[in-house]
Structure 1
Amino acid sequence: MRKRLGLVAAAFLSLLVSMLIVPAPAHAAVGLRVSGTRIMEANGNAFVIRGVSHAHTWFPTQTSSFAAIKALRANTVRVVLSGGRWPANSASDVANIVSLCRTNRLICVLENHDTTGYGEQSGAYTLDQAVTYWNSVRSALTGTEDFIVINIGNEPIGNNNAASWTSATTSAISRMRSLGFQHLLMVDAPNWGQDWQFTMRDNAQAVFNSDPQRNTVFSIHMYGVFDTAAEITAYLSAFQTAGLPLVIGEFGHDHSDGNPDEDTIMAQAQSRGLGYIGWSWSGNGGGVEYLDMVTNFNAASLTSWGQRIFNGANGIGTTSREATFFGGGGGDDTTAPTTPGTPSAADVTSSGARLTWSASTDSGGSGLAGYNVYREQGANDPLLGQSTTNSITLTGLSPATQYQVYVRARDGANNLSGNSPTTTFTTSPGGSGGGGCTAAGTVQTQWSNGYVVQPVTVTNSGTSAVSGWTVTFTLPSGHTVTGSWNATLTVSGQTVTARSLGYNGNLGPGGSTSFGFQAGRPNGNTATAGSYTCTAS
């Protein structure tokens, strides 16, 4: 999906005097609540959001993403829902999401995406309509105040008539409370979430005071408007000076409207004790595929953005702490798990291997959260993958290359064990000296704005066996991949790369296999089978 954002703002204005009023304390809030600039749990423990967004409404079958996001040490997931602008998420579906949140020990921010760009984007819903949706699923949310945050509406006003945000948001909060919702509420800024006209910043105190429970947190989305450290720090400082709660509800490492300064965003959030939620786990389209953190919802295939937000400086991996509601120590558990056993390598191919090791134990009370697998290369060992069990299949390795790997265990409080003993293995050389492949596709079916290409047949055209293949092709402008099978697909602009899976990479001379994909296209555009380039390994 394309996230449409505002233009870069002029210089930040000085704070209004009204924002300097110290906010009243929380009134009779239950569960998660705000106190000054901080989010607190019911027991008084401060909670700092470290999470990512997951586009559930467009990918409702990807429920394994909750466990995968947790395994990468996030303490929060922001879940995209719809009340009808897209296929609606019913009360039973929301109840399942709530169960997944609890099971995976994640604070969940549930957001209604229908409101995105209201007043500027056709089909967008009002905040009042969003409240009506929340009321329709209220049965699924009763009693969840300890771990569910309700983000009333995503980016509820575009760049037209941003001034209407204040009254619309105040009214939505008032109606949510009158309907009996006791949850911590989150409200997004106008200007497609970026508030470059400062409507939210300058009216936040009045909106906060309109909540009879004083239990609303403000959410700023930081994309191209926030491309300098000065703009980021000025905006965050405004809310902290005013004593008002703020989270960075969305941000990325790049965007079509400019290059956000993600390093400053993350560093400032950490130093100020502010929460952040990156956009987004997987499934982006419309030209912003680079915002995917993992490829095709595969947690073992982190993109560069995924590596940055999970494993980089001030990233989720080192700064996230599980909510004490789920038994997390809030940082109190300092006991590291035991060191895992020596990993053993099996099923070694030219591009991958399967590792297994004896499991760790944890006596610190947080429970094992997973394992990290590293390649031995000195002080900055690259992370090869993560696993919540004592095995993992590594992919994307180079042919005829020696790898030395070790494993570290991680518990729920993010304590890391010592390094396991290393193991060494060498990938096979692949199909050199006679390996080669060809690929050709067929349009199987098509409709007004989409089509299916199946099969794309991959054939070993060489004289020796191959253990893997990579197929590249280019889609016409405006066409997007919306689904695939029997291959791992990555997208960069209009260029698509399909890679073999563990079960269909090995092909003898003359042998063949196939994969397929579904694509979207502008109405009336021609469906295309494409022209394919195949490389064997």
Structure 2
Amino acid sequence: MRKPRRALFSTAGAAFAAVLGLVVSLAGPTTGTAEAAPTGIRVSGGRVVEADGSDFVMRGVNHAHAWYPDRTGSLADIAAEGANTVRVVLSSGDRWTRTSAAEVSSVIGRCKAAKVICVLEVHDTTGYGEDGAATSLDRAADYWIGVRSALEGQEDYVVVNIGNEPFGNTGYSAWTGATKAAIGKLRGAGIDHALMVDAPNWGQDWSGTMRNNAASVLASDPDRNTIFSIHMYGVYDTAAEVRDYLHAFTDNGLPIVVGEFGDRHSDGNPDEDAIMATARTLGVGYIGWSWSGNGSGVEYLDMVNGFDANSLTGWGNRILNGSDGIAATSRTARVYGGGGGTGGGTAPNGYPYCVDGGSSDPDGDGWGWENNRSCVVRGSAADR
């Protein structure tokens, strides 16, 4: 059933019809659970870290490669604006032209050349159960297995986002089982990358399905290396809604990113200021939708006009250069020689946050030492 006012179609897809999906859980993972070996980007202590254990906080932009495969220069353009992550739209071939293994390799190579982390996603799953053209997470898993050769050895640089907004507002209760099954299929096939899973309800999880089942989904992953992604559009039109949702994960040691959001949308007016400010305060990643090429009435979600990096839109200027924006808070991944970390900021007690997270806190008390002064580890006991 559609929830009044909160149910919506996100329209960033073929004509860019996407407002994203997957489902998360309130209870944190059980103590004593093993975590993934440090083979690349991974989950540790409820946070996303690199192979050396330093925090990696995504500050990124979505790019619709599947519909604009000739716009390969966009990855470098996005990086030049300060982003440390690009979420790249691919197709399994079920709805749009299949992105081949060779093409995936090329995209990864361009991400590495631009020194950004690649979050690769299959878009054909968008709105499954409600949109008859959408395909299942199981089919998306088959695609990833089919292009495994392009992914091998890229764990430091690539996150596999199994499927975009894999359920709409119909049949979304199947999200938990379908997500666990897809994770198990990928792990069984030897895909060891950090996995990202989108929420249902076109990515916005107004039903709380992902929130309420995230802990069990994470526990089902043999590598304990699954990141949850919420898409924030009209459902998140107040600061309280933004804070409550993100805190439901961070307070329970569950890894969360905002995988898509904009400054307005057809289903309501998202509070982008609260999204970006809360993400900074919690050290949570965000990836805005989208660089360019939106159509079907959502052209306002373009960050640049006509893929021209020198022609920022109002939304583009806001997310790239505004308060809590990408330019101010992004740090290049350490694997590329950057400083990693969270982009700084100040804790409620007045001390600066540690840029390198727990790596500067050897005794685990929440207090670190950087730049010849004390700093606070985000989310620790000292972060009060």
Do the two structures share a fold, i.e. TM-score over 0.5? yes
Measure, in 2, the Cα distance between the counterparts of 1:153 and 1:26.
Answer: 23
Moved beyond 6 Å, runs of 4+: none
User: Is 2:266 aligned against 1:252?
Assistant: no
Q: SS of 1:160's equivalent?
A: coil
1:185 aligns with 2:191: no
In structure 2, the gaps of 5 or more residues are 1-14, 344-384
* Structure 1 residue matching 2:309: 3-state secondary structure: strand
1:268 to 263, 270, 278: 278
SS in structure 1 at match of 2:180: helix
**Among 103, 120, 124, which residue is 1:110 paired with?**
120
Match of 1:479 in 2: none
* Equivalent residues of 1:32, 1:42 under 8 A apart: yes
Match of 1:217 in 2: 227
Tell me what 1:303 maps to. 313
Whole-angstrom CA distance in 2 between matches of 1:37 and 1:317? 25
2:152 maps to what in 1?
Answer: 142
Gap regions ≥5 residues in structure 1: 7-14, 334-537
- Separation in 2, partners of 1:223, 1:121: 19
Contact 1:22 1:242 in 2 (8 A): no
The 1:208/1:23 distance shift into structure 2, 3 A limit, reads farther
2:164 to 154, 164, 181: 154
- 1:70 and 2:84 correspond: no
TM-score normalised by L of structure 1: 0.59
Contact 1:50 1:75 in 2 (8 A): yes
Secondary structure of 2:207's aligned partner:
coil
User: Which protein is richer in helix relative to its size?
Assistant: 2
Instruction: Determine the C-alpha separation between the residues in 2 that align with 1:107 and 1:199.
Output: 28
Q: Please provide the CA RMSD for this pair.
A: 1.8
Match of 1:294 in 2: 304
1:23–1:243 contact (8 Å) kept in structure 2: no
Taking a change above 3 Å as real, the CA distance of residues 67 and 191 of structure 1, as seen in their structure-2 partners, is same
Residue 20 of structure 1 and its aligned partner are, at CA, apart by 7.3
Tell me what 2:47 maps to. Answer: 38
The partner residue of 2:111 within 101, 105, 125 is 101
CA contact (8 A) 2:19 2:231 kept: no
| CA 228–23 in structure 1, closer or farther in 2 if over 3 Å, else same | farther
Paired amino acid for 1:306: G
Cα distance, 1:178–1:332 mapped onto 2, change above 3 Å: closer
Q: In structure 2, do the counterparts of structure 1 residues 20 and 330 end up closer, same or farther at CA, with 3 Å as the change threshold?
A: closer
Counterpart secondary structure, 1:115:
coil
Quote the Cα distance in structure 2 between the aligned partners of 1:332 and 1:183. Answer: 22
Q: Decide whether the 8 Å contact of 2:29 with 2:218 is kept in 1.
A: no
Q: Distance in 2 between matches of 1:172 and 1:305?
A: 35
8 Å contact from structure 1 (residues 20, 241) kept in 2: no
Separation (CA, whole Å) in 2 of partners of 1:100 and 1:80:
14
1:228/1:325 Cα in 2 relative to 1: closer, same or farther (>3 Å)? Answer: same
Asked if the contact 1:152–1:185 (Cα under 8 Å) also holds between the matched residues in 2, the reply is yes
8 A contact 1:112–1:153 mirrored in 2: yes
Is the contact made by 1:187 and 1:219 (CA closer than 8 Å) also made in structure 2?
yes
State the Cα distance separating 1:25 from its structure 2 match. Answer: 4.3
Cα 1:295–1:36 shift into 2, 3 Å? same
If the length of structure 2 is used for normalisation, what is the TM-score? 0.82
Cα distance 1:230–1:281, how it changes in 2: closer, same or farther (>3 A)?
same
Q: Does 1:83 align with 2:92?
A: yes
Between Structure 1 and Structure 2, the one with more strand by share is: 1
User: Aligned partners of 2:32, 2:317: CA distance in 1, in Å?
Assistant: 38
1:105 and 1:5, CA in 2 relative to 1: closer, same or farther beyond 3 A? closer
Q: CA deviation at 1:330?
A: 2.8
Matching of residue 317 in structure 1 with residue 331 in structure 2 = no
The whole-number CA distance in structure 2 between the counterparts of 1:175 and 1:148 is 18
Alpha-carbon distance between aligned partners in 2 of 1:146 and 1:4, rounded to the nearest angstrom:
28
SS in 2 for 1:242: coil
CA distance in 1, matches of 2:120, 2:88: 5
Identity level (%): 59
Query: Matches of 1:109 and 1:46 in 2, distance apart?
Result: 16
CA contact (8 A) 2:304 2:312 kept: yes
Q: Which residue of 2 aligns with 1:194?
A: 204
- Report what 1:277 is aligned to: 287
Say whether 1:53 aligns with 2:62.
yes
Structure 1 residues 377-456: aligned runs within 5 Å:
none
Deviations 1:81-115 (A, max 9, x none): 00111011101100100110111111000000010
| Higher relative contact order structure (alpha carbons within 8 Å, sequence separation ≥ 6) | 2
Q: Displacement, 1:161?
A: 1.2
Mapping of residues 223-234 of structure 1, within 5 Å = 223-234=233-244
CA contact (8 A) 1:19 1:202 kept: no
Distance (whole Å) between structure 2 residues aligned to residue 311 and residue 60 of structure 1: 27
Deviation of residue 252 (structure 1)?
0.4
> Number of residue pairs matched?
325
Cα 1:155–1:106 change in 2 (3 A) is same
Equivalent-residue separation in structure 1 for 2:128 and 2:103 (angstroms): 25
Preserved contact between residue 5 and residue 257 of structure 1 (Cα < 8 Å)? no
Amino acid at match of 2:134: A
- Separation in 1, partners of 2:157, 2:32: 24
- Pairing partner for 2:253 from 231, 234, 243: 243
> In 2, distance between residues paired with 1:175 and 1:66?
30
Q: Deviations over 1:342-371 (max 9, x none)?
A: xxxxxxxxxxxxxxxxxxxxxxxxxxxxxx
Q: 1:5 to 1:23 in 2, by over 3 A?
A: farther
Q: Which residue of the partner structure matches residue 410 of structure 1?
A: none
Kept in 1, the 8 Å contact 2:41–2:49? The answer is yes
Partner of 1:457: none
Query: What is the CA-CA distance between 1:227 and the residue it aligns to?
Result: 0.3
CA deviation string 1:312-339 (max 9, x = no partner)? 0000001000001011133699xxxxxx
